[in-house]
Each structure stands twice: as C-alpha cells, then as structure tokens.
Copies of this chain bind each other. A is one copy, B any other.
Amino acid sequence: SRMLLPRNISLSTGHLPEALGGAPPPLRPNVINPYGRPYRYWQMFLIVLVAYSAWASPFELALEKAVSRAHLVVDLVVDVFFCADIVVSFFVAYRDRSTDLLVDDRGKIAVRYLTRPWFVLDVASTIPLQIVYQLVRGKKNGPCGFLILLRLWRLRRASKLFARLEKDTRLSYFWTRFIKLFCVALFALHCASCVYLWLAFHYRDKEQTWIGSLRGDFKERSVWFAYTYAVYWSMTTMATVGYGDLHAANTGEKLFSILFMLCNMGVACYVIGNMTNLVVHGATTTFRMRDMVDQVARYGKANRLPAWMREQMVESVQLRFQMAELLLPDEVLSELPKAARSAVAQHLYKATVEDCYLFRGASDNLVVQLVSEMKAEFFPPKMDIVLENENPTDCYIIASGQVFVMRIGPHGMAGEIGVMLNIPQPFTIRSRTLTQVIRISRSHLQNTVRPATADGDTIFSNFVQYLESLKVRHGEELTFARDVGHDT
C-alpha cells in the first residue's frame, strides 16, 4: 500500500553549494592545525625529551653525586623546550566535541587551556627547581629533592602518544601494545634500580647493603658500575629468576624487595593477560579458517562423500578466507550508513553491470537499484557455479576469470536462463580459473525489473535476442511463453 504514486517529479537542484564536500576550510593565520605535519614533528621531538626526563629524574634523585654541571645544563635546555611548548599550546586549534569541527579562535583556545587542571602541572614540571634552589641556598639537592619527580608528569605525553597510536589503524595493534608494555617494564626496572642505589648509598653501614656485602668498594667506583649491578639485580627479581648472588641485606632493603615483588606479580599477571589477549586476537582468523576447514573435512569424511566433492568444499572454504579482504562481513556492513553502502556498491559494480548484455540500454535508475543489493563471490578453479537442475534462485555476472560450458571471458553471465525462464538450471557451469562473480538474487531482480516498464521491455528484448542467437548457433528449438509481464 503505497501512499503516493507520482509519475514525474522535478525539483530544483540548482541551489547546491559548489564546494559540496570540498577541502576543509583553512584555519586563521597564526593558529596551528593539531593534525598538521609541523605540530606532529614538534610533538615527536618532545617525546624524545620526555624519554630523557623519565630516565634522568629518578637517576639524579638516587645519585646526587652523579649530578655534574653538564647534567644540569642539559636539564635546563630540556626545560626550555617544554616551556616553549606551553607557549605553543596557546596557538593550537582544538576539536569541539559537540560539532566535531576544529575551533581556531585564539581566545577560546587560551580559555580552554588555562581552565584545564593540567595547566598548573605543566608549569610546575617545567620550573627548574634544582637550579632555583641552588641559586637561592647555594646547596645541591636540599629538602626539596623529591620535587624533581614532578618532571615525571611529562610521562603523560607518552601515555597520550600510545593512546593515539593504538587507535591509529595504519600501525599494528600488536606491536604498538607490545612496545608500550616493554617501555613500562623498562621504566619500572629503572625506577627499582634507582631505589636500590639510593638504599645502598644512604645506609649507614655500607657492608650491610646488598652491593656492599659483595663489593665493599662500590662507593669509590664509577657510577655506572653500581648502576649495572642495580639493574642486574632488579632484572633478576623482575623476571623472577632470583639467582641470589645479590640479595637484600638489611631490613629496609627487605621491605622494598617485598613491595617490588608484590608489584611485579601484579604487573606480570597484567602483562601475561595482555599478551594472551593480543595473541588470541591475532589468531582469531586463523582459528576460524582452521575450524571451518576442519568441520568441512570431518563432515565429508564422516558422511563418506566422494573425494572430489570434499576437495571442492575445502577449497571453496579456504578461498573465502584468502579473499576475505575483498569482501565485508554482514556485521561490518550493518555498521555503515545506508548511503555509504550504496556509494560503494555503485563504485564497484556499476560498470560491470552496465557492460553486461542483459542490462544494455537499461536506465541509470534501474542499474543503481540493482547494484545496491549485489554481492561479490569467488570460485576456485574447477568449481561448480551453477548446477544442472538446481532451483533458479540466483543469477551471476562473471566479473573476472573464465568458466566452462557457455561462454568465456569477463562480463558474461551464468544462471540467467534458469532465473529468467523460471526453470531448473539447464546447464552446469564450472569455473576454469579463479573466478569472481557478482550475485543477484532472483527475487531482487524480479522486484526491480517490473514487466510493463521501459526498462523491463529493454531487458526482455536483450534476453530474447540472446536466446535467438543461441538457437542459431545450435540449430535447436527453444520454446517459451511469449506473454511476458502479463502473468503476474
């Protein structure tokens, strides 16, 4: 029951804007695009400095004596760069959540940045407290030594970077995640080593420390010597190897070791869980393929199907998985808006359908509507596409590859005689090479091609001509009802 049945309608489309879907509008001058190249490079450069800060801050805290003048200069330079980034932040456009568009108004940008809680932390982590303290008091690392850890706030950038990389579909999720876990492990290792060093250097009796009980002269030797020992021990503990050549020698060390091992257990479980997840997920497709092939093979064996039938079945299942990226599964298709799906189908199949003898001369409208319901399918060599005597439920357009029996080469069709005449398929049609076909169901074809219309007549006469040519070629009689379109 349709509500309205107008035959002709014309509405003005003259008011379409020319720039429909054009390039994004340029941002105002002096405002930086957060997705542009220059800003990306600047961010990548800052990440390198973040890595340095993450390494240097705990190290400087643990080994005050190692903090040379050169060290302080490097720290100062790094601080200057982060200071520059604070300034730059006032010029970077941001994406508004309610409209999903970029905002390039500098007033709004500044208000947004200043009202976020991390602005304060950004500033606090940039002030070179150590130098300020030294200038004021004339001493190195006074009571506010721990303030150096404020710099670890910069790690937020690394965390944001990984969050972005994980969503970037050009990168492998497995490796992004793997590297993230690896970096976290390395940082934990470094921190634990620094704590161990701090414990060793601050304990009153150096013989009663983890390193001093083995190497009494550790305070006199190079910083790197003690650092290697500390990393070695932390690693031994973290990997739960626990050789025992180095071990906690006093109560403070024992307490930290307990804490470290507790954390490690949590982290180890978390890492194992993550790896399992990644591995499981990576293997999903392989497993699905193996499962299907196994099921088909077992079914063939249990039902004692002939060998060629079993091979055909296994090969076609395998081909589906090989060709998986050329096809979209239904659950993904259903997530796309209808307009996008139509656009894709038109792009892929329209030319092929228009090339096909049956639809030559058909209107654009008809082709668009036929195409929207078409599905691509692949057949390995020597596989039946249409079986003699089968119900005529589908019609196939051969998009590429070669088939036996009726005709060879692309843009031929298969199964259309059964479908058009509504008789059991008169021939078996079999692929000769790897063949791609486009499938139209009989019901969709019949619903779209209405008999008493211009398109219906065109298509029917195309089909009659073709049958005539077949008759001529094979010198045989073809009998069929002439009352096309009058039998509904």
Contacts and interface: CB of A to CB of B under 8 A. Distances in A.
Contacts of A238: 261, 265
Interface in A355-382: 364-365, 368-369, 372, 377, 379-382
A149 B357 CA distance: 61
A277 interface: yes
Interface in A200-248: 225, 228-229, 231-232, 235-245, 247-248
A477 B228 CA distance: 87
B365 A424 contact: yes
B479 A6 contact: yes
B169 A314 contact: yes
A257 B390 CA distance: 66
Nearest to A12: B474
A449 interface: yes
A338 B15 CA distance: 45
Contact of A251 (B228, B292, B293): B228
A354 interface: no
Contacts of A422: 2-6
A1 to B, nearest CB: 4
A400 to B, nearest CB: 8
Interface residues of A, number: 168
A337 B384 CA distance: 8
Contacts of A329: 295
A343 B309 contact: yes
Given A1-B451, A343-B387, A254 B272 contact: no
A281 B274 CA distance: 10
Interface stretch (A69-77, A94-102, A112-120): A94-102
A78 interface: no
A6 B449 contact: no
Contacts of A68: none
B283 A279 contact: no
Contact of A244 (B242, B302, B424): B242
Nearest to A445: B3
Contact of A368 (B235, B241, B389, B456): B389
A13 interface: yes
Contact of A478 (B3, B10, B316): B10
A273 B265 contact: no
Given A13-B427, A98-B434, A344-B309, A281 B287 contact: yes
B305 A347 contact: yes
Given A236-B242, A236-B261, 13 more contacts: A1-B447, A3-B460, A228-B251, A238-B261, A245-B247, A272-B272, A273-B280, A277-B287, A301-B325, A305-B348, A313-B336, A339-B384, A365-B389
12 contacts: A1-B487, A4-B481, A6-B423, A6-B480, A9-B478, A236-B257, A237-B241, A269-B275, A272-B275, A276-B279, A299-B326, A372-B390
